[in-house]
Amino acid sequence: MTDLTQSAALSRSEPEAVPALRPGLIAKYVFILLWSAFVVFPFLWALTTSFKDANGVTNGATWLPWIQYRPSTQGWSSLFGGAGGTDITRPYLNSIAVTLGASVISITLGTLAAYGLSRFTFRFGWMRNADITFFFISQRIMPPIVLAIPFFLMLQALGLLDTLAGLILVYVALLMPIAVWVMVDFFNSIPRGLDEMAWMDGCDPVTTFVRVILPNALPGLVVAGMFCVIFGWNDFFFAFTLTFTKTQLLPVAIVALNSSVTPWWALSASALISIAPLVLLAFLVERFLSKGGLAGAVR
Amino acid sequence: MLDLHNLRLAENGVPHLDSITASFAPGTLTTILGRTGAGKTSLLRAIAGLAIPDAGEIRLDGADWRRLPPWKRPIAMVTQQFINYPHLPVLDNVAFPLVRRGEKWPAARDAARAMLDKVGLAAMVDRRPSQLSGGQQQRVAIARALVKKAPVLLLDEPFVNLDYKLREGLREELVEMLRTETGTTVLYASTEPREALQLGDRIMLMAEGRLLDAGDPRAIFERPATLEAAQVVNAPPINIVPLEIDTVARMGPFGTQELGALGRDLAPGRYRLGLRAGDIAPGGPHRARVILTEVSGSETVTHLDLAGLPLVMHEKSVVAHAPGSEIGISARLDRGFVFAANGALISQGASHG
């Protein structure tokens, strides 16, 4: 017995064996490395280009500032009213307001609609819950051009053309289906037994939703929120067709930077500055996206 | 007093509850015994308000519950699944119903701590349900149900998803805890007759949504009113042997038998003899083929075929009868139950228990 214990203790103290570098493992790491380079390279390219001037850009692929090219802040300053550019501060703030406003409204309404579709049985003519859910998402299946003219006419009738409120309204119509679609699926994965247990513990349906279901749907809310923000932030088509000069969003302002001579330095800086909020958001919400949020609900 | 009157519930034309009328006194533990699909869960869900009966009444101390939503019913429930709030630590899980009831957090927390101490989870208060084992998760669910001190406690096969040893241990602990909860009406749904005999002050037998019998567990076990009740209350299942009486008693493959006192007052006709698995023993004149042997703990249940008649034999020892082999068996036919063609018990042998 003593010998066995000792040998067990000895074997525990030995370092863990390093897995052998099998060909499959090497291929995996090579693939990851290549893919990472593929993903990171454009950012690096944009970053270096944003600090170049016309000469730096036309002199070929150079990477090392001060050594290979003379760094210039011309690209960045032109975005804020500097020479040869335009001030994107206003479009930037407009984009933030429209994206956040539309996303918050879409998530709020979409989550409520999704909970209803997940927990109650609806009948609308021949339509049942699954059909109604598909009806929501079908709004995103048709090409945007189909919606452009009706939206234009409606906003015109409401006097909301070229306004932030008008854009928010249109974006809610576009983003809410995404929120409904994501959240229905998520609520369906939350066992109904949890709702019933909350009822047994004295929660009415609203309290059940707010105190029990919503906290457990947080990863779903984050996913839906991310989708809404990404789609809202990146939209060019409706931002272009439903505005004129008064209300400009960032994607339109960036396109407007282009002229007879393509200002690669300014475009690179604007590309970086436009993806910054999304990158920041992704880092902030990453921890909510981990799996296993519902573990321990029902076993 | 919890009263059910003519409770009916059907889904897609299939009756889940068929005219259930019963009363449950405060401070009693009633075991609702029935096989899967007997309507036990439907009954508990109807009482809890989670299923809406098509007809009938549910009253607690005279108050009509028909229009009372589940969240307003003074009820606690533990289900087969170990349902807990995944986003809350164990302590908050148990304190949750108290906080919802309007109790201040310090008082709710203290009560929850005391209850967790009772169920042996005092050291786990800060953990999430997902960090607990199945048995511990069910203890949390039980603690949350008990901490409310609700007048009605519904337990729907709470230990069915646990392993045998844990189930036995937790059941004993629960019974111990319920002893201190005076005044609580406890309904415990179970498929296991042995559990029902151990637990309940009272037993209620159900099959296909109907109430078969209700009363003292031992009395029902010893004298089941019908063949259906005998089938529900016996595990291993009771054997059914065809019985035909004219000048003698003929019992299918057992042949002509002397029934003694059991058959003395029986008129000539066809009957069914219920014979407990324990009243069939190895060694005897009847040759039966072994179909299957199940060893559970220190007991053996053997499924036999006696000239086309399926039989179950229960031995209180571990025996390995090889499937396919033939063994001699004997039956204590004089200890059987005689049921009429309509299933009613009309005669029974002596010394059951």
Nearest CA in chain A to B135: A299
What pLDDT sits at residue A19? 62
Contacts of A212 in chain B (CB under 8 A): 85, 87
pTM: 0.81
Tell me the C-alpha to C-alpha distance, in Å, between residue B90 and each of A30, A290, A296, B10, B173. 45, 21, 11, 37, 19
A299 contacts in chain B (CB < 8 Å): 81-82, 134, 137, 161
In chain A, the percentage of residues whose pLDDT exceeds 70 is 88
Q: Is residue A208 part of a domain?
A: yes
Whether chain B has a CB inside 8 Å of the CB on A289: the answer is no
Distance from CA of A200 to the nearest CA of B (A): 5
Q: Going by DSSP bridges, is the β-strand pair B269-275/B239-245 parallel, antiparallel, or unpaired?
A: antiparallel
| A258 Cβ neighbours under 8 A, 6+ residues apart | A267
Same domain, A43 and A168: no
Per-residue pLDDT at A4: 40
The reply to whether A248 and A172 lie within a common domain is yes
Inter-chain contact B86–A193, Cβ cutoff 8 Å? no
- pLDDT category of residue B18 using cuts at 50, 70 and 90: very high
Q: Is A170 part of any domain?
A: yes
Same domain for A103 and A244? Answer: yes
Q: Do A149 and A29 share a structural domain?
A: no
Residue A14 CA to chain centroid, in angstroms? 46
CA distance A212 to chain B (A): 7
Q: How far apart are CA B246 and CA B266, in angstroms?
A: 9
Q: How many angstroms separate the CA atoms of A57 and B254, rounded? A: 103
Q: Which helix (H) or strand (E) holds A282?
A: helix A264-285
Q: What is the mean pLDDT of residues A230-252?
A: 93
A1 in a domain, yes or no? no
**Cβ contacts (< 8 Å) between B153 and chain A: which residues?**
none
* Residues in CB range of B260: below 8 A, 6 or more apart: B334
Q: Contact B130/A296, CB-based, under 8 Å?
A: yes
What mean pLDDT value characterizes chain B? 90
Average model confidence (pLDDT) for chain A?
A: 86
Residue of chain A with shortest Cα separation from B132: A296
- CB atoms A202 and B69 under 8 Å: no
- Substitution target from A200, A207, A208, A216 for chain B, most B beta carbons within 10 A: A200
- Quick one: average pLDDT of A2-22? 51
Q: Residue A4 falls within a domain, yes or no? A: no
Chain A CB contacts of B75 below 8 Å: 200
> Is B13 touching A (CB cutoff 8 A)?
no
Specify whether A193 is located in the same domain as A268: yes
pLDDT of residue A180 exceeding 70: yes
Question: Which residue range(s) make up the domain with A187?
Answer: 89-289
Fold of B236-348: OB fold (Dihydrolipoamide Acetyltransferase, E2P) (2.40.50)
pLDDT at A15: 55
Residues of chain A with pLDDT > 90, as a percent, come to 54
Look at chain A and report how many structural domains it folds into. 2
Task: Say whether A296 and B132 touch across the interface (CB within 8 A).
Answer: yes
Collect all residues with Cβ–Cβ distance below 8 Å to A190 and sequence separation of at least 6.
Answer: A118, A213, A216, A217, A294, A297
**pLDDT category, A298, cuts 50, 70, 90?**
low
- Inter-chain residue contact B83 with A297, CB threshold 8 Å: yes
The confidence score (pLDDT) of residue A286 equals 79
Residue range A98-102: mean pLDDT, rounded: 97
> Is A151 found in the same domain as A116?
yes
Closest-CA residue in chain A for B45? A196
Is residue A196 domain-shared with residue A111, that is, in the same domain?
yes
CB–CB contact A293 B86 (8 Å): yes
pLDDT bin (cut points 50, 70, 90) of residue B164 is confident
Contacts for A111 with CB less than 8 Å, ≥ 6 apart: A179, A183, A214, A217, A221, A224
Q: Say whether pLDDT at A161 is over 50.
A: yes
Per-residue pLDDT, A6: 42
Distances (CA, A) of B124 to A168, B120, B127, B140, B270: 48, 9, 5, 10, 62
Q: Which residue has the higher pLDDT, B257 or A19?
A: B257
Helix, strand or coil for residue A221? Answer: helix
Note the ipTM here.
0.86
3-state secondary structure of A236: coil
A100 shares its domain with A205: yes
For residue B271, CA distances in Å to A115, A257, B255, B339 come to 57, 98, 15, 6
How close B199 comes to chain A (CA, Å)? 24
How far is the alpha carbon of B65 from chain A, nearest alpha carbon, in Å? 14
Residues 207-236 of A with CB under 8 A from B: 207, 211-212, 215-216, 218
**Which pLDDT value is given to residue A59?**
79
Q: Within an 8 Å CB–CB cutoff, is residue B11 touching chain A? A: no
Q: Per residue, what are the HEC states of chain B?
A: CEEEEEEEEEECCEEEEEEEEEEECCCCEEEEECCCCCCHHHHHHHHHCCCCCCEEEEEECCEECCCCCHHHCCEEEECCCCCCCCCCCHHHHHHHHHHHCCCCHHHHHHHHHHHHHHCCCHHHCCCCHHHCCHHHHHHHHHHHHHHCCCCEEEEECCCCCCCHHHHHHHHHHHHHHHHHCCCCEEEEEECCHHHHHHHCCEEEEEECCEEEEEECHHHHHHCCCEHHHHHHHCCCCCEEEEEEECCCEECHHHCEECCHHHHCCCCCEEEEEEECHHHEEEEEEEEEEEEEEEEECCEEEEEEEECCEEEEEEECCCCCCCCCCEEEEEECHHHCEEECCCCEEEEECCCCC
| Closest Cβ opposite residue B79 in set A193, A294, A295 | A193
- Looking at residue B350, its pLDDT comes to 64
Is residue A7 one of the residues assigned to a domain? no
What residues of chain B lie within 8 A of the CB of A203, using their CB? Answer: 71, 100
Write down the pLDDT at residue A199.
96
Q: Residues B101-135: pLDDT tens digits?
A: 999 999 999 999 999 998 889 999 999 999 999 88
Confidence at B8, pLDDT banded by 50, 70, 90: very high
The answer to whether A246 and A159 have CB atoms below 8 angstroms apart is no
Strand pairing category for B2-11 and B75-78:
unpaired
pLDDT at A8 (0 to 100)? 41
- CATH number of A174's domain: 1.10.3720.10
Q: Which residues of B touch A291 (CB under 8 A)?
A: none
Instruction: Determine what percent of chain B is predicted with pLDDT higher than 90.
Output: 68
Taking the CA of residue A135 and the nearest CA in chain B, the distance in Å comes to: 28
Bigger pLDDT: A200 vs A12: A200
Let me know if residue A158 belongs to a domain. Answer: yes
Please give the average per-residue pLDDT across B328-343, as a whole number. Answer: 90
CA distance A137 to chain B (A): 30
**Nearest residue to A202 (alpha-carbon basis) of B52, B53, B145:** B145
Residue of B nearest to A193 (CA): B83
Cα–Cα dist B341/B60, whole Å? 39
Terminal CA-CA length for chain A: 39
Residues A247 and A124 in one domain: yes
Distances (CA, A) of B237 to A164, B77, B222, B275: 74, 30, 14, 9
Q: How many CB pairs under 8 A join A and B?
A: 80
Instruction: Give me the pLDDT at residue B169, please.
Output: 80
Q: Are residues A135 and A271 in the same domain?
A: yes
Whether A298 contacts chain B with CB within 8 A: yes
Question: Is A165's Cβ below 8 Å from some Cβ in B?
Answer: no
pLDDT of B85 over the 80 cut: yes
Residue B351 above 70 pLDDT? no
Same domain, A130 and A172: yes
The mean per-residue pLDDT over the stretch A62-90 comes to 82
pLDDT digits (tens, 9 = 90+) for A116-157: 999 998 888 888 888 988 888 887 788 888 999 999 999 999
Question: Of A72, A104, A137, which residue sits at a domain end?
Answer: A72
Percent of chain B surpassing pLDDT 70 = 99
Domain ranges of chain B: 2-224, 236-348
Going by pLDDT thresholds of 50, 70 and 90, the confidence category of residue A292 is very low
Q: What is the Cα–Cα distance from A228 to A171, expressed in whole angstroms?
A: 9
Q: Is residue A6 part of a domain?
A: no
CA gap A201, A198 in Å, rounded: 5
Are A140 and A100 members of one domain?
Answer: yes
Which three-class secondary structure state does DSSP give residue A80?
A: strand
pLDDT for residue A5: 41
Give the tens place of pLDDT for each residue, B202-243.
999 999 999 999 999 989 999 999 999 999 999 899 999 999
Among A194, A204, A211, the residue with its CB nearest the CB of B83 is A194
Give pLDDT tens digits for B23-36: 999 989 999 999 99
Of the candidate CATH numbers 3.30.1130.10, 3.40.50.720, 1.10.620.20, 3.40.50.300, the domain formed by B2-224 belongs to 3.40.50.300
Q: How confident is the model at residue A10 (pLDDT cuts 50, 70, 90)?
A: very low
**Chain A nearest C-alpha distance from B145 (Å):** 8
Q: For residues B141 and B174, is the Cβ–Cβ distance under 8 A?
A: no
Instruction: Report pLDDT for B98.
Output: 97
* Residue A83: per-residue pLDDT: 67
Instruction: Report pLDDT for B75.
Output: 95
DSSP 8-class letter at A20: P
Question: How many residues make up chain B in this entry?
Answer: 353
Q: Does A184 touch chain B (CB under 8 A)?
A: no
The residue-averaged pLDDT of B320-348 equals: 90
Confidence class for position A2, pLDDT limits 50, 70, 90: very low
